[in-house]
Structure formats: structure tokens, C-alpha cells
């Protein structure tokens, strides 16, 4: 019988941990040094200083060999080899990888950092540079960017050589990186800063407004608050100004 949350509860027996049901019947023997909480039908468990994962029948889906592990999210979990801590403070980050619900390392444990998954795509950091890998371990972009933002309306901000642009989910450059700062797409447009001024562009990189505003806030009620010549006013997504000097 496969038990699902919240039927399995972490149960301590002396200094060991297992899992019981609501009637305190021990379902998974108390043999682990530490346990996490079940997410998506799996839980991380610690034994002899190492972490691994079991399912809700107590079966190991991975070897208990990792130095750190995070809970499953969207069918994947981050695992680490080599991390070192002192009083819970990380002193050496080790290397990170990704496992799936079968326990397979779909992304090898070789990256300095791995970001949050979006539409089955992972941001990965290698030697201080960022790239993208899909859930099958296939490289979408090489780890060459200084920074990555988050996908919004299918486009991701990328920083290269201290300038920002945008790529799509295939890693294709959609908007060249020549802006000092960018926002996130809303309603098909995004705010961008060039030198000391802000403006709006669309998904093709075409200007919706001149880049002339001193400050620019985000969309609210289909309007954007902007500052020019020390005065505030509003514009819409077409660049129409609702003020005059």
C-alpha cells in the first residue's frame, strides 16, 4: 500500500528517525540519523553523514551518498557533493546536480550553483558564469553569462560584458545586450535603461518610447509612472503620455 501525504509522519525512536502513520504504526523503520519532510512522494534521509532519498514505501531511489540535498520540486531535486559547513555556515560550496524521481542524475554534479527550474529549464553556474540546461541535461546555452534573470513572457534577461539583453527558451539572442539595466516583460513590453535614462521596448527590441525618462516604475493598472524634468506622470504601454509641461 502506497501512503501519501499527510499520512506519513517523521517519527523519532531514541536517536534514530523513521516514519509512522497517524496511528503511530511504524511504516518506515527508525534507522536514519535525520530526515526531511515528504514532498511529491519522496523524502531526503541522512545516514552516516550522507544524504539520499527514499520513496513513501521506504525504498531508496538514490544511494545515500550526497553531502547535501534539497526537497523535490516539480519532479526534480538538487543534490550536492563536497559542500563543507562550519556552524551551519557554508565554507566550501561543493558541486551541485539534479536528480529526477527515478533517482537518476539528469544533470551531473558539477555546477557551482543551480537556480530554480522554469518550464523544465535550469539556470546553472560554472566557473562564475551562467548558462541554461534542460531537464534532460541538454545544454541550451553555454555557461558564458555574467548574470541571468528570470523568464517573463518567454524571455529571460541576460548580462554579458556588463550589458543586458534577452534570450528565449532556445537560448537564442532576441534582444542584443547593450542596456545598462532592464526590467521584466509585462504586456509585451519591458523597461530598459541606457546610460542614465529609461524607456520602453517591445519583444523585437523596437522602441515604444524614446529613452528619455529619469525614472520609471513597473506596470500598475495598465499604466507606468515615469519621472522627467523632476516631475512625475503616467504613460501607457503604447508610450502615450498623460501629462504635459
Contact 61, 45 (CB under 8 A): no
Q: Which residue is it, cell 529609461?
A: 198
Q: What is the pLDDT of residue 221?
A: 87
Q: What is the pLDDT of residue 109?
A: 97
What SS3 class is residue 176? strand
Q: What is the pLDDT of residue 14?
A: 96
Q: What is the pLDDT of residue 5?
A: 46
Contact 73, 39 (CB under 8 A): yes
Grid cell for residue 182: 532592464
Cα–Cα distances (Å) from 149 to 90, 122, 153, 203, in that order, read 24, 12, 13, 16
Q: What is the pLDDT of residue 3?
A: 45
Cα–Cα distances (Å) from 33 to 10, 11, 12, 20, in that order, read 12, 12, 10, 16
What SS3 class is residue 22? coil
Q: What is the pLDDT of residue 140?
A: 97
d(CA 50, CA 66) in angstroms, rounded, equals 5
Grid cell for residue 226: 515615469
Contact 109, 92 (CB under 8 A): no
**Local structure of residue 128 (DSSP, 8 states):** T
CA-based nearest residue to 77, from 45, 47, 49: 45
CA-based nearest residue to 35, from 73, 131, 13, 151: 13
Contact 160, 173 (CB under 8 A): no
The torsion angles phi and psi of 7, rounded to 5 degrees, stand at -75, -20
173 HSE (CA, 13 A, CB side): 11
Grid cell for residue 13: 525512536
Q: What is the pLDDT of residue 7?
A: 74
Cα–Cα distances (Å) from 170 to 133, 151, 244, in that order, read 10, 12, 43
Contact 30, 15 (CB under 8 A): no
pTM over 0.75: yes
* pLDDT tens over the chain, length 245 residues: 454 545 799 999 999 999 999 889 999 999 999 999 999 999 999 999 999 999 999 999 999 999 999 999 999 999 999 999 898 888 999 999 999 999 999 999 999 999 998 889 999 999 999 999 999 999 999 999 999 999 999 999 999 999 999 999 999 999 999 999 999 999 999 999 999 999 999 999 999 999 999 999 998 989 999 999 999 999 999 999 999 98
Q: What is the pLDDT of residue 245?
A: 82
Contact 230, 243 (CB under 8 A): no
Cis peptide before 216 (omega within 30 of 0): no
Amino acid at each position: 500500500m502506497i501512503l501519501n501525504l499527510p499520512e506519513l509522519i517523521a517519527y523519532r525512536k531514541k536517536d534514530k528517525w523513521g516514519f509512522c502513520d497517524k496511528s503511530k504504526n511504524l511504516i518506515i523503520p527508525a534507522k536514519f540519523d535525520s530526515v526531511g519532510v515528504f514532498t511529491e512522494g519522496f523524502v531526503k534521509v541522512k545516514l552516516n553523514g550522507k544524504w539520499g532519498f527514499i520513496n513513501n514505501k521506504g525504498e531508496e531511489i538514490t544511494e545515500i551518498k550526497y553531502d547535501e540535498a534539497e526537497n523535490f520540486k516539480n519532479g526534480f531535486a538538487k543534490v550536492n557533493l563536497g559542500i563543507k559547513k562550519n556552524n551551519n555556515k557554508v565554507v566550501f560550496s561543493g558541486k551541485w546536480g539534479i536528480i529526477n524521481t527515478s533517482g537518476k542524475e539528469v544533470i551531473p554534479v558539477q555546477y557551482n550553483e543551480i537556480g530554480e527550474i522554469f518550464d523544465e529549464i535550469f539556470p546553472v553556474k560554472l566557473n562564475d558564469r551562467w548558462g541554461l540546461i534542460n531537464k534532460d541535461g541538454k545544454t541550451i546555452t553555454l555557461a558564458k553569462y555574467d548574470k541571468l534573470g528570470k523568464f517573463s513572457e518567454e524571455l529571460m534577461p541576460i548580462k554579458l560584458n556588463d550589458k543586458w539583453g534577452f534570450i528565449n527558451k532556445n537560448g537564442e539572442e532576441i534582444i542584443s545586450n547593450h542596456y545598462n539595466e532592464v526590467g521584466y516583460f509585462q504586456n509585451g513590453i519591458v523597461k530598459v535603461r541606457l546610460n542614465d535614462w529609461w524607456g520602453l521596448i517591445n519583444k523585437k527590441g523596437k522602441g515604444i518610447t524614446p529613452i528619455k525618462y529619469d525614472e520609471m516604475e513597473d506596470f500598475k493598472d495598465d499604466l507606468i509612472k515615469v519621472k522627467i524634468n523632476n516631475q512625475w506622470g503616467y504613460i501607457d504601454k503604447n508610450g502615450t503620455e498623460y501629462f504635459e509641461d
